[in-house]
Amino acid sequence: MNTPSNRIQSLDASPTLAMAARAAELKAQGIDVISLSLGEPDFHTPDHIKEAAKKAIDDNFTTYGPVPGFPTLRKAISEKLKNENHLDYAPEQIIVSTGGKQAICNAILALFNPGDEIIIPTPCWVSYTEMVKLAEAKAVIVKTSFETDFKMTAEQLEQAITPKTRGLILCSPSNPSGAVYSREELATLAQVLAKHPDVLILSDEIYEHINYVGKHSSIAEFAEVKQQVVLLNGVSKAYAMTGWRIGWMAAETWVVKACQKLQSQYTSCTCTVAMKAAEAAYLGEQTCVETMRQAFEKRRDLVVRMAREIPGFEVNVPDGAFYLFPKVDALFGKKTAHGDVIKDCNDFAGYLLDEAHVAAVSGDAFLMPECIRFSYAASEETLTEAFRRIKEAVEKLH
């Protein structure tokens, strides 16, 4: 009695959100904590998007909307896919949800059965494995390495596929590693997947616009696998709209219909005012996206330079997203000035919080316990101070 369901008891709470809450608590106690834990743009939502939301309220977009989203928004997304990605998805092949998070969870719950195997290359975003757990499916982990820039090879993928495989979750640009799969790399994965038409490819492209190596490539560009692809994206990162909670999926109509059924029982539709704001984001001028991308790129260069000066940090250059994911296992086994041993990445993240007052997320959360994640979606001044403190704290270890 008085216990949550087994389903909830076996679920881990989101460690990124937990660390952000811990940092906020310490700040509320008056401690000068710099939080590089939560991955969200530090910019405000551009004004023309905010204006569209205010107008939506005045125009009384205040009742339930259609379950899959306003037709005008689905059309705007369909046009974005055509113009920016050269991908053909009719508006009926698009469903709008409460953040990219719900779009991904919808896909996993609507498409997979208990026992189905879902391949997840690691390091991976914290929520994939837990969502797969909710569906009672089985996460099959493919561990990548620092040396391969945390990218899964076609050989690794091929080896992981069994007769029970029903899905793959691919994230490019990647949270947490910042790795970006090139078109050529995606082509080699597509070649393998085309031989397995019953394996669905959940392609999380939420960091599409935060890319420092050129044009974004989607695995949906490969005709031989397009019907297997469930493309997931949203406005949170590109337009600094994390709080508006708008994400979407583009896929074959049967997939969208399945998610629509689930969503009709679960959230009805997402927030109508936020949908009108997202529509303005896609239809309005796009310079804000590039301005923010350029700022992230400058910060990327800055944090890579500073992190490389820290003893024990191995740093590769992230090609996208706004995370630095250094390998720090050379520090495990060292002692703090108080004589405590840093056994693993959790101890190291705890040490940085206590000693340097910098909040980061342990690599454990992303199934890569050799590493630690810093979000560099913060001002250059904040980042400079944070890395100064981190360096000082690391230099105290012996």
Residues at the interface with ligand GLU (CB under 6 A)? 14, 16-17, 38-40, 101, 125-127, 175
Q: Are 384 and 306 spatial neighbours (Cβ–Cβ below 8 Å)? A: yes
121's contact among ligand GLU, ligand PMP, none, with CB below 5 to 8 A by partner kind, is none
Tell whether omega for the bond before 114 is within 30 degrees of 0, i.e. cis: no
Q: In terms of CB distance, is 126 or 232 closer to ligand GLU?
A: 126
100's contact among ligand PMP, ligand GLU, none, with CB below 5 to 8 A by partner kind, is ligand PMP
CA atoms of 156 and 142, how far apart (whole Å): 7
Residue nearest to ligand GLU (CB): 39
| Type of residue at 93 | Q
Question: What number of residues does the chain have?
Answer: 398
122's contact among ligand GLU, ligand PMP, none, with CB below 5 to 8 A by partner kind, is none
Task: Return the sign of the alpha-carbon dihedral for residues 378, 384, 385, 391.
Answer: positive
Q: In terms of CB distance, is 165 or 203 closer to ligand PMP?
A: 203
Structure tokens at 283: 């239809």
Q: How far is the CB of 364 from ligand PMP (least distance, A)?
A: 17
- C-alpha to C-alpha distances, 302 to 237, 305, 307, 326, 358, nearest whole angstrom: 20, 5, 9, 14, 17
204's contact among ligand PMP, ligand GLU, none, with CB below 5 to 8 A by partner kind, is ligand PMP
Task: Return the sign of the alpha-carbon dihedral for residues 59, 62, 68, 69.
Answer: positive
Q: How far is the CB of 245 from ligand GLU (least distance, A)?
A: 11
Q: Are 157 and 180 spatial neighbours (Cβ–Cβ below 8 Å)? A: no
List residues binding ligand PMP (CB under 6 A). Answer: 39, 99-101, 125, 171, 175, 204, 206, 234, 236, 242, 247
Structure tokens at 89: 């998805």
Burial per residue of 256-289, b for 16 or more beta-carbon CB atoms within 10 angstroms, e otherwise: bebbbebbeeeeebbbbbbbbbbbbbbbbebebb
Q: In terms of CB distance, is 33 or 199 closer to ligand GLU?
A: 33
351's contact among ligand GLU, ligand PMP, none, with CB below 5 to 8 A by partner kind, is none
Q: How far is the CB of 148 from ligand GLU (least distance, A)?
A: 22
Please list the residues that pair with 234 across neighbouring strands. Answer: 247
123's contact among ligand GLU, ligand PMP, none, with CB below 5 to 8 A by partner kind, is none
Q: In terms of CB distance, is 69 or 234 closer to ligand GLU?
A: 234
Q: In terms of CB distance, is 351 or 376 closer to ligand GLU?
A: 376
167's contact among ligand GLU, ligand PMP, none, with CB below 5 to 8 A by partner kind, is none
Strand-strand pairing, 94-98 and 34-35: unpaired
Q: How far is the CB of 125 from ligand GLU (least distance, A)?
A: 6
Q: In terms of CB distance, is 20 or 306 closer to ligand PMP?
A: 20
What is the three-state SS of 38-74?
Answer: CCCCCCCCCHHHHHHHHHHHHCCCCCCCCCCCCHHHH
Q: How far is the CB of 146 from ligand PMP (least distance, A)?
A: 19
Q: In terms of CB distance, is 67 or 206 closer to ligand GLU?
A: 206
CA atoms of 339 and 2, how far apart (whole Å): 41
17's contact among ligand GLU, ligand PMP, none, with CB below 5 to 8 A by partner kind, is ligand GLU
14's contact among ligand GLU, ligand PMP, none, with CB below 5 to 8 A by partner kind, is ligand GLU
Q: Are 272 and 65 spatial neighbours (Cβ–Cβ below 8 Å)? A: yes
Q: In terms of CB distance, is 14 or 188 closer to ligand GLU?
A: 14
Return the residue matching tokens 């909670």: 245
Q: How far is the CB of 207 from ligand PMP (least distance, A)?
A: 7
Q: In terms of CB distance, is 16 or 260 closer to ligand GLU?
A: 16
Residue nearest to ligand PMP (CB): 99
